[in-house]
Structure 1
Amino acid sequence: MDLRVFPGTPVPEGLTIHFEADWSGGVLSLRYRLNGPVARFRGVAESSVMGLRRDELWKTTCFEIFVRPEGSRAYWEFNFSPTGDWAFYRFDSYRQGQSSPPLKNPPLTVFKKQQGWEFSVTVDLSDQFDFKDRALVYAPAVILENGDGDKSYWALEHHRPQPDFHHPDNLVRLLLPKGPA
């Protein structure tokens, strides 16, 4: 599915962002594909690296996803930098009760540069959640910062007058768990 840029934010002509997700056995697999003129954006490693857990990744180029079990108010936020760094937060409800739970297995990221960027991440959440066999409601997002410091904000939908990836109205896509192969 394609992400849309927030109206009025700067973006190079012809840039598109495609997103795919898979949820199986407590493992969340994500792929963000940027096609078009991407050379001007900040924060890109030349190759894949094992990153560290860091806060405030959203202040520059960052790939995000917000997930919650279907029917729950609590949700989880994941931030992934193309440098390999990552962040993981839990919220009790919309922007309330934030915590940073431990993550036993850090995300595995793969970054490819070809005609654009492809950023893939696999997160093993089997030790985190009691809902590994439940459907997830999710909302992917991307923040791109260019060399001038201007940012564009990308999501499936934009429901607020300002970019707000946390807003519950964004969590509308359903991801069903896949059974054993």
Structure 2
Amino acid sequence: MPAVPVGKSVETSVGFTIDDPAREIVKLFAIVGHEQLPLEIPSFPDALPAPNSRIADGKEFAVFHEGIKRVPLMLGQGNSDGQANAGEKIAVLVPDGDAWRAAELFTNDECVDLRERVSDAWSDYDHVGASAKYSLAMIQPACPVGHVVRMLGRVQWPHPPDHHVEYFTVEFPVAASRSATAK
């Protein structure tokens, strides 16, 4: 790439392959004069679609809490129809036997605000201070009906002393809310 004049910017594409499935961060450097500007890029393993996932939008589910305790939890805020509607806060759940595990989510979709994350402490279960994270994703109010949201999900499964982490993909359309459908 040619030198960029002071006060100007350029767009460019960068492509690379990571040949290390365990690598979590790739660090690149932009060289500006004698300075190195670091750019840290999170990386994730290949993932298959989440089997039988559910969207929690204000409905109560039996969810694992503190590692292995099944508790009734109402996750998300919405009309409890199991679909993601604009303006709703949702959790994505994956099945684990007769209960569910809430997923930590990752996306760069402008329709999704992922700022709210919850840490579920497992210290009473594993006595080492592990915690599982999950996301409460806000579907932006201006997100159009039919927009397809694509996310990467991560769930931690109990297996002391080294818990297992699994990645999966989640894809769903933003649905019309019941009140919009009834009009």
Q: TM-score range by the shorter chain?
A: 0.3 to 0.5
Normalised by the length of structure 2, the TM-score is 0.33
Which of the two has higher C-alpha Rg?
A: 2
More strand by share: 2
